[in-house]
Amino acid sequence: MTTYAFLLDVARCIGCQACVAACKTGNELPFGVQFIEIKEQTRGTFPQLTGGFANHRCYHCADAACVSVCPAGALHKEDGLTRLNASVCTGCGYCVDACPFHVPELFAGRCCKCDGCAEVVHAGGTPWCVKTCPSNALLYGDRESILAEAHARVNAIKERYPKARVYGENEAGGLGVVLVLPDEPEQLDLPANPQQPIAIGAWQQVVQPVTLGLTALGAISMGIGALIARRNHMRELKLFATDIGAKSGNSEPEPAIQED
């Protein structure tokens, strides 16, 4: 099975916002929702200052904390990327608290994040952000090819950016967005060593099983409640039919009403 990934070359990003607009339009995101945020930055110390842009988005961790804590299976891994089936999201918000990159948000009571343009890619297309990037800062393909390209680009800019490095090759188990950074991760609002919250281990062992148990119990309770309500309704219909027959003086027995 092929593992796919994005290349995000921060050194080539010109901050044009084309990816932001394409993502929002192509995915028909509602007002107030966007999956990519670009911020202009000034890095370094005076007078040795450089300008650039931080590009915040879902990084599709291999060891995805959001997937680990999702009790409904709305977040899941596919082809190396973190997909989202919002239709089964319960809006619990665990993913929001768990992500070391602070990516997932809740909108209209459900998780909201990039899913790697799953529908577009499955139809043979290219993710919206990649398709519209004018500076070739974004690429999409099999992860091995993306990693090779990332290392080649870092080597090409080392003279200009001595601290340049590849980010995402191993972080968080290996990211589905491999970045070419011109500076240290912290300078670009990225954690040097992204970690799942310690509480996730306990959550998986205690809270998640309890949550799943309560969900199953709730479903069983609803089923039992529906059965009782239907039986009571049928009993009421039977009594009503008997009462009507008695008032009309009808000596013929009323048709039997079956109870489940």
CA proximity to 70, closest of 58, 88, 50, 52: 88
Is residue 11 within 8 A of residue 153, CB to CB? The reply is yes
- List residues bridging with 84 in a β-sheet: 75
Burial (CB count <10 Å: 0-12, 13-18, 19+), residue 37: exposed
User: Rounded to an integer, what distance in angstroms lies between the CA atom of residue 207 and that of residue 211?
Assistant: 6
Give the tens place of pLDDT for each residue, 214-237. Answer: 544 544 555 565 566 567 666 766
pLDDT at 259: 52
Which stretches of the chain drop beneath a pLDDT of 50?
Answer: 215-216, 218-219
pLDDT at 93: 95
Is residue 100 within 8 A of residue 196, CB to CB? The reply is yes
Q: Tell me: cis bond preceding 47? Omega within 30 of 0 counts.
A: yes
Nearest 5°: the CA angle 204, 92, 121 is 90
Residue 223 in tokens: 């089923």
pLDDT at 219: 43
Give the tens place of pLDDT for each residue, 161-175. Answer: 999 999 999 999 999
Q: Look up the pTM and report it.
A: 0.76
